[in-house]
Amino acid sequence: MGDPLNLGIIGAGVISGAYVSTLRALDGFRINAVTDLYVDRALGLAERAGDAVAVANTFTELLERDDVDAVLNLTLPADHAAITREALRAGKHVYSEKPLAVSREDAADLVEEARKAGRRLACAPDTVLGTGTQTARKAVDDGLIGTPVAATAFMTSVGHEAWHPNPEFYYQPGGGPLLDMGPYYLSSLVHVLGPVTRVTGAASRPRRERSIANGPRSRTRFPVHVDTHVTGVLEHDGGALTTLVMSFDVRAARLPWIEIYGTTGTLSLPDPNRFDGSPALSRGGSWQLLPYSAGYEPGRRGVGLADLADALHTGRPHLATAELAEHVLDTMLTLLDAAEDGRTLPVTRTTDRPPAVEGIRTAGW
């Protein structure tokens, strides 16, 4: 892969551990600095990241370091845009956790900032690059289910307060089931069926207050500022219609994650919040698990960053594109607008269908 990519990490929350575990297993990265609003969390992340990892007192201090060429943005969703913008203006490449931003204007501005700066901007989720979604995409492209007609996508849970020690941000602007979990599902759907052109939706907020279930803050109550049950119909540019349900209000359900219905068969996809899992194909009889035919294997959180590092070295386009993240964000926000207005609305910030992962790739671990 050439010289390692010198990396700085901002944000030492729960997800940072998964990224560091992946990056430490690769030769293509050198984590040189980390920072967080809470010094103790930054110190803990630096210790997990390896020897001689510096703890920057501020994000500005991290950006001023000559040994940081790229920034991994793991801050809260509401802070993604501001952090990414400053990193791009400082001449750094950026890989951001999803969503890219929480407003259309910020997302479009970030894509333009990256273009002007000549820097790479990539965005999670990278699970879409794993063998689960990519094998399903190849199966559809190979005509195994005929012409796609419709799809369903379901994410139902009781809410993150059931397990997360500090779940409040999931219920603030930039959170909720759609903006939190929707990127996994919508990114997979766009990979398989193409971009979304129009949406219709409805949404509700059954509880205005919730409480933390476990941990030292158990029974702490907090307000809910976003809709927690969202349903919609997405029209893809190829003509397929997706029925979508994203909810933090379901105690139990027996639903598929994503299914694609074609003129000659049905494809049931594995959990889009994971990299692996075999798609199942039925042409009216029994279900057959498809062998992996495309995607990064094995997949781990951070494979999109590994792909970005390889793309920088080889000069090819990276796969976890900011353009896809911008389109997914616009689709989600338009769905919420459609739910509020009670009508069908066009998705205006479109994108080309993202590049596929050709064949089976390995990130090197």
pLDDT at 365: 60
Confidence of residue 174 (pLDDT cuts 50, 70, 90): confident
Active site residue 116: no
Confidence of residue 154 (pLDDT cuts 50, 70, 90): very high
Q: Does the pLDDT at position 258 exceed 60? A: yes
Q: Does the pLDDT at position 304 exceed 70? A: yes
Mean pLDDT within 199-221: 96
**Fold observed for domain 5-126+300-321:** Rossmann fold (3.40.50)
**Fold observed for domain 130-293+327-346:** Dihydrodipicolinate Reductase; domain 2 (3.30.360)
Per the CB < 8 A criterion, the answer to whether 335 and 24 are in contact is no
Q: Does the pLDDT at position 25 exceed 80? A: yes
Q: Where in the chain is the domain with CATH 3.30.360.10?
A: 130-293+327-346
φ/ψ bin of 39: left (φ > 0), alpha (ψ from -120 to 50), beta (otherwise) = alpha
Share above pLDDT 70 across residues of the chain, in percent, rounded to a whole number: 99
**Which has the closest alpha carbon to 20: 29, 295, 94?**
29
Mean pLDDT within 264-281: 97
Mean pLDDT within 233-241: 97
Summarize pLDDT for 9-19 with one digit per residue, the tens. Answer: 999 998 999 99
Mean pLDDT within 223-243: 97
pLDDT at 192: 98
- Angle of helix 16-24 relative to helix 303-314, nearest 10 degrees? 50
pLDDT at 173: 84
pLDDT at 3: 83
pTM over 0.75: yes
Mean pLDDT within 82-90: 98
Confidence of residue 362 (pLDDT cuts 50, 70, 90): confident
Q: Where in the chain is the domain with CATH 3.40.50.720?
A: 5-126+300-321
Q: Which of 92, 98, 116, 138 is catalytic?
A: 98
